[in-house]
Amino acid sequence: MSSARMVVCASHTPGMLRDKAGEFGHAFRAGVADAAARVAAFAPELVVFFGSDHRRAFVDPVPAIAVMTGAEGMGDLGSATGRYDVPAKIAAELAGRLLDRDFDITVGRDIALDHGFGQTYEQLVGSLPDVPVIPVYINCATPPLGRPGRAFALGRAVGEELSYLDQRVLFVGSGGLSHSPPSLVSTAAGLSDAERLAMNEAGRAAAMDKINPSWDEALLRRIADDPAGLEHLTADDIAPAGVGANEVRTWIAAIAAGNLPMETVVYQPVREWITGMAIAASR
C-alpha cells in the first residue's frame, strides 16, 4: 500500500446546502469540522474520491463505473465550481489497470460533477482545486445497479493499483445514509433542477419519515466492527434504508481501498434534510 493512507466517508445532501442559516444539523456540522481537521492534519497529497451522480452528468448512457481524467464542478444547488486538479496520467493508467482486472471502466475526460462530489470535497478538503483528486464514479441512482460486493472489489483493486504511489492518499466515499428523495424514487431521467426541486418539495413530508436510524446505526457498527465484512452486503440489505442509501456503495469502495480500521465520527438523522447524516473515518 501507499506510504500513508486515510479514509473518510461522509453523507451529502442538498438540504444542507439550502440551509444557509445553519438552522439544522448542528451535530453533523460539528462532525464535518472534526473530519476536516483530521484531513488537514493528514495533509493528503492525493484524494481518490468515490462519488455518485444524481442523473445530471450521466443520463444516457449510464456507466456502472467511471474514472475521470478531467472534471469540473457543476455548481448545482450551490455546490463546488471550478476545475478539479486531476492527475490525468495517473488516472488513465489506473483505468487501464482496472480494465486489465476485468472491471468494465468508462473513462470520463471532461465531466461536470454534481454535489455528489463537490459538496463533500469542499467540506473535507477545501475549495477546488486545493488537492489533486481522481474522481471515481459509481452508479448508485439509475437501475440496474452493481452489487455492493462489486463496489468492495473495485475499491480494493483501486487501493492495490495505487500502492506504488509514495504519497499521502485520502480515500473518500460520499453519499447516504438512509434517505429516499422523491426525485430518485422516480424513474424519470433528464429532470431540470427546477423540476427536481418541485418534486422533492411535494414529497418532502413523506420523505422525512423514510429516514431509518436503526439501519444507519447498524451499518455504522458494522463498519467499525468488521469493515472487511462489507464485501458481503447485498442490495436486499440496503433496501430498507431507501433508494438514496444505494450511495453507500461509495463508502464500501473507499473503505475497501484504504483497508484500515474505521470509527464513527458523527451520526445525526436530520429530518429537515430528509437524510440520516453520518461521517466515518479511519482510526
Spell out the domains of the chain, with CATH numbers in brackets: 4-266 (3.40.830.10)
Q: Is residue 115 among the annotated active site residues?
A: yes
Span 224-272, pLDDT tens digits: 999 999 999 999 999 999 999 999 999 999 999 999 999 999 999 999 9
What are the distances in angstroms from CA 68 to CA 85, 138, 153, 210, 215? Answer: 11, 11, 19, 33, 32
Catalytic residue from among 12, 26, 54, 115: 115
- Distances in Å between the Cα of 71 and the Cα atoms of 19, 129, 157, 230 are 27, 11, 22, 29
**Residue range 223-236, pLDDT digits in tens:** 999 999 999 999 99
CA distance to 44, 212, 259, 274, per residue, from 268 (Å): 27, 11, 25, 11
Q: Choose the weakest-confidence range: 17-21, 139-143, 241-245.
A: 17-21
The pTM (predicted TM-score) of the whole model is 0.94
- Which residue is catalytic, options 12, 26, 54, 179? 179
Name the E strands within the chain.
4-10, 46-51, 65-68, 71-74, 81-83, 106-108, 111-113, 133-138, 168-174, 262-270, 275-282
179 carries an active-site annotation: yes
